[in-house]
Amino acid sequence: MFLTKAGKEIKVREPKTMKHESLSLKMFDHLVKCNNLEAEMTKYGLVPSEDLDLIKDMIDRPKAAQGQRPYEGRLMSKSFLMDIVSNKRNGIDVDKWDYLARDCYYLGIQNNFDYHRLLNFTRVCKVNGQMQICFRDKEVDNLYDMFHARYCLHRRACQHRVTTSIQLMIRDAFLKADGHITLSTATDDMEAYTKLTDRVFEDILHSSSDELKDAREILNRIMNRKLYKCLGEMRVEETSKEKICEWEKELTQGLPQGLTSEDFELYDCYMDYGMKEGDLIKNTYFYTKEKPTIASKIPIDLEPRLLPKHFSVHLIRLYYKKADDSNLEPVQKVVEERFKRWRAELKAEEERHNATQ
């Protein structure tokens, strides 16, 4: 959120990427350099020129889903290593298992996915000439539980409307503090980035600097539970950024005097099973008890019968940022009218689209 709004691009492997994996690669290179790890690796018989690239490919391999060779310095028999940490084929990886177990535990959310059992039924098989991680056919329900647990975690916690409100407030506070303390520029300096911990929140909150006054006020609102208010939420199908920009321009029309578009934010919220609308199991290979070395996609007759009709939910939320809520009642009426009209526009567009099919 913060880096996007600050107009910051993190260029590592591909242009216009802002993924945490990209920053992890930069951090990894920094750790290797400042700790002289290449010399240490050589002591144990490793080849830094090959093994360092292998580690980075395991952290982030964007082209793995397109069937590219995972790494020129490795045999094709080891291509399955690219699917352990960050699986671009189907999203089944230990990174996801880790945060599902940890976050569900600390948030008190039920997690029906059993990774212990799944590991017992995991094998490496050859698929289209490449070695891939495959699963026993009877574990298909367990995998759907994993994707459903991810969706539930996002719906009930990660992208809950109150969570998003606080995220937007932290982002706005950081934007106001940026330039007075090292924030957006830290992505270009890994030594500075190592010091950019959660403590930055406390540093701003307890500062006495005039330059950080606006940022401090926003963080104080979080501590006093005077949050941005979610005035409305609308479920939509795929909506273009241009359409959302049009809606944002409409927000100032008919509002009480003294309010501007800066007092509102339309937030685009997307929750899914891991790959937008797609059913990730379609990209997963399974083996059977009778043929443990032969992998194939799950037959239709073995697919669970109680699958969701859709694998994603797209929401548009409207947030009111001002701490003063004296104008909230008339604002709420305008917002309700706006959402009603936007729903009608979307429905009309859908009907026109269906008529042309």
Long-range contacts of range 162-167, CB-CB < 8 Å, 24 or more positions apart?
162/227, 162/230, 164/230, 164/267, 164/269, 164/317, 164/319, 165/227, 165/228, 165/229, 165/230, 165/319, 166/222, 166/227, 167/1
For residues 356 and 108, give the distance between their C-alpha atoms in angstroms, rounded to a whole number: 48
Tokens, residue 53? 């690239």
For residues 114 and 192, give the distance between their C-alpha atoms in angstroms, rounded to a whole number: 39
DSSP-derived secondary structure letter, 186: G
Strand partners, 268: 316
Point out the catalytic residue in the list 20, 116, 148, 160: 20
CB atoms within 10 A of CB 56: 19
Q: Which helix (H) or strand (E) covers residue 279, if one does?
A: none
* Residue 180 designated active-site: no
CB atoms within 10 A of CB 228: 26
Cα dihedral sign, 247-253-255-257: positive
Q: Half-sphere exposure (CA, 13 Å, Cβ side) for 294?
A: 4
Residues 6 or more apart from 261 whose CB is under 8 A from it?
A: 248, 249, 251, 252
With both helix axes pointing from N to C terminus, report the angle between 140-153 and 94-107 in degrees, rounded to the nearest 10: 60
Pairing mode, strands 130-136 and 285-287: parallel
Long-range contacts of range 47-52, CB-CB < 8 Å, 24 or more positions apart?
49/73, 50/74
Backbone angles phi, psi at 327, to 5 degrees: -95, 10
Which residues are part of the catalytic machinery?
A: 20
